[in-house]
Amino acid sequence: MKNSTHQTARSTTSVTSESAFLEIENLVKAYPTSEGDPLTILDGIDLTIARDEFISVIGHSGCGKSTLLKIVAGLENPTSGSVRLDGKEIRTPGADRMMVFQQYSLLPWLTVQENVRLAVDEVLKKASSVEKKQIVSEHLAMVNLTAATNKYPDELSGGMKQRVGIARALATRPKMLLMDEPFGALDALTRGKLQRQVLDIWEQHRQAVMMITHDVDEAIYMSDRIILMTNGPQAKIGEIIEVPFSHPRNLSEMRETQEYYDVRNHALDFLDRYFTQDE
């Protein structure tokens, strides 16, 4: 089934300006070093993402993917350039962007519903107590966790913990979801199930998503475009692949098409070209 032609792996650098929701312009990020001169990690990133678009960011370890995500989250500031969400410059974290990390950052002394409720209380301050209760149970149901509502994190599997993290992020109704290798710590079977669940939710309630992953198949399955980063330091966007499948998607059907393998090979060839000896 595999072949190496690239005919369907189209590259596009941006969405149209009318539909741009996140706009990253000439972003540079440098960190100070003990040697004196700062080290430029990201060097001139230009990227626009639409309001209802799911994008994945792939690149070799250390190229600056998490740094880029943290800048969009407002946890880090760019050295120069601009990052705007819905026309407004991002400088600090905000309830319009929620993050899901690889390591489930749940509070161990709170139950599943209390973990989600804490975030809802923090963000949806104007909602009534009844509404907030409803939002929490609705989002726990979305990730099939109703039965685990009153459990504590250490009573849950890794996949369940990650589902709580996803329910928590979605329950605050952010305009943008930022995910840093959200399935990276899970076994293959759990990963596949959770990818499907997140995709089901996203296909029903579309929002802007930026997901970092090391997994090309995950990126093809879930995203509209795949951002391929060059190696760091001074990493840039090397290429952007438009995934030629509409949503909702069916992985088995996708895998029966030539387009799937064209995109896959194209992305893997790119990553091979940027492979370095010290990785």
Ligand X SMILES: Nc1ncnc2c1ncn2[C@@H]1O[C@H](COP(=O)(O)OP(=O)(O)OP(=O)(O)O)[C@@H](O)[C@H]1O
Sorted by sequence, the CB contacts under 8 Å of residue 272 that are 6+ apart come out as none
Sole window of 9-17, 60-68, 91-99, 127-135 interacting with ligand X (rule: CB under 6 A): 60-68
Residue 77 in contact with ligand X, rule: CB under 6 A: no
Alpha carbons 183 and 214: distance in angstroms, whole number:
10
Q: ∠65-203-23 over CA atoms, to 5°?
A: 40
* Closest to 45 (Cα-Cα) out of 246, 229, 263: 229
Alpha carbons 70 and 93: distance in angstroms, whole number:
9
Residue 103 in contact with ligand X, rule: CB under 6 A: no
Within 10 angstroms of residue 51's Cβ, the number of other Cβ atoms is 15
What 3-state DSSP class applies to 173? coil
What 3-state DSSP class applies to 5? coil
- Identify which of residues 18 and 279 has a Cβ nearer to ligand X in the complex: 279
Residue 64 in contact with ligand X, rule: CB under 6 A: yes
Sole window of 64-72, 93-101, 137-145, 257-265 interacting with ligand X (rule: CB under 6 A): 64-72
Q: Which helix (H) or strand (E) holds 147?
A: none
Question: Tokens 């992020």 correspond to what residue?
Answer: 169
Residue 62 in contact with ligand X, rule: CB under 6 A: yes
Sole window of 62-70, 193-201, 216-224, 270-278 interacting with ligand X (rule: CB under 6 A): 62-70
Q: Binding pattern to ligand X, positions 9-48, x when CB under 6 A?
A: ----------------------x---------x-------
Size of the site for ligand X (CB under 6 A): 11
Binding ligand X (rule: CB under 6 A), the pick from 8, 56, 67, 207 is 67
Residue 152 beta carbon to ligand X: minimum distance, rounded to whole angstroms: 29
Binding ligand X (rule: CB under 6 A), the pick from 56, 66, 113, 207 is 66
Binding ligand X (rule: CB under 6 A), the pick from 26, 61, 105, 146 is 61
Residue 131 in contact with ligand X, rule: CB under 6 A: no
Binding ligand X (rule: CB under 6 A), the pick from 24, 27, 58, 63 is 63
Q: Which helix (H) or strand (E) holds 136?
A: helix 129-142
The four Cα atoms 150, 153, 154, 159 give a dihedral, to 10 degrees, of 110
Residue 155 in contact with ligand X, rule: CB under 6 A: no
Question: Which pair of structure tokens corresponds to residue 151?
Answer: 């459990």
Contacts to ligand X by CB under 6 A: 31, 41, 59, 61-67, 232
